[in-house]
Amino acid sequence: MAETNELVKLTAAQMAEKIRNKEVSSRELVDAELSVIDAAEPDLHAFPSCFRR
């Protein structure tokens, strides 16, 4: 599993390549992005809520 900071800095093309190569799952990428949103939300107040399974 890649570190969250690494994943959120990837371009969409790099993310797609990592998914194709099974280096990371789409779920891991979404979780990484949601973590960034969760961290920024108290300052931004831009997202009403983020739902996770």
* 28-45 per-position pLDDT tens digit: 999 998 888 888 877 877
- Rounded Cα distance between 45 and 6, Å, is 25
Cβ(50)–Cβ(35) under 8 Å? no
Residue 5 pLDDT: 82
Residue 45 pLDDT: 76
Cβ(33)–Cβ(20) under 8 Å? no
pLDDT at 50 over 70: no
- pTM to 2 decimal places: 0.72
Report helix, strand or coil for 13: helix
In the chain, where are the structural domains located?
Answer: 4-44
* 5-29 per-position pLDDT tens digit: 889 999 999 999 999 999 999 999 9
- Rounded Cα distance between 1 and 46, Å, is 29
